[in-house]
Structure 1
Amino acid sequence: MPTFYFSPNEIRILVRFFEALSAQAQPYIEPKLEPITEMERALARQLFTSPAAPCLRCHMTGDPAHDQKATAPNFLIARERLKPGWTARWMIDPQAISPGTAMPSGLFRREGDRWVFAGPLPEAFKTYPGDHVDLLVRYMFQLTAEEQRRLLAGTRAALRARPPDMRVAAERPRGRRGGT
């Protein structure tokens, strides 16, 4: 990386120049997410750990035994690296953002004015009137250390309870691809 020896004033001018060229409002102001209720937190945890949802097949969770075989990033640190709007778009159609990514599209289907998980839903979800993508994004972006422990406990149980053919798929090594 070259060193340019800019003065503080020259750096400010250069930064303002790039800000002017960018469409991103400066400074970036994080959107306020609707707080997640305890009921919603339990629902989101159920969906993440459900054998029907493919999240745990690929994503790291913070559990060293599982993470050795994981091929996708740890979604539990999403709020540190991602924006909520982008995360929602990614969950709905990752192939549109990064063609060829290992993350499957079609996990959610449009139902009226909301997105609903396309696979078999845990029983408690059948009466949830909200948008499932929004719920999962809010869950990831509002994770507490305590909730992370609960999720990891559910993750371990879900991985042990997974039918053998699903365990094999989860343990199959996959090539790493960008964007997942």
Structure 2
Amino acid sequence: AVEPNDAMREIGIQRTKGQDIEWIRATGLESGLKDENFDWLTFGSSFNVMDRNLALKEAYRVLKKGAYFSCMWNHRDLNDEVQKEVEAIITHFVPSYERGVRREEQRSFIEKHKELFDTIVYLEEDFYFHQSLQNYILAWQSVKNPYWDLDTNEGKKLFEAICEEFKKKLPSEFKIKYTTRSWSAKKQG
């Protein structure tokens, strides 16, 4: 498993304890993995935070012939009442807010790279998640986006203001709907 973030990698190590998984501090662009050594490579909520062209080339390099790569995300259901309120709060503070590449369909991007990957499979499944407001805020804190960079004072202040509104307007616990969306494609050549 490749994970550049120390905290996320530590969580992964704990959750997979006792399994035959080696955790590596690297990125999806420079994984350090062996050439043509893997049957499947997945990007879980990460394909959008790197240069997708380079990520596909890295996936192609490490996968065996005929193997698959997948990119997937858990998308918030924007018709959910809690999620509607969240969107309203965020757009109040960030009128230019966009959800970014992670919310886009990925088929058209993959099709532009048919020399690397083809035979595209799309899957989606809804699920419901019981969430505390505190954990929900922590999840938003982990999101890398161009609107609030938590490494800057300005970004921290904006995020704190958004969180204060979350605390005022959202229940302390709630059940919300997500949809997992995944695009997979077979290595060519």
TM-score (norm. length: structure 2): 0.28
Bigger strand share: 2
TM-score (norm. length: structure 1): 0.29
Find the structure with the greater CA-based Rg. Answer: 1
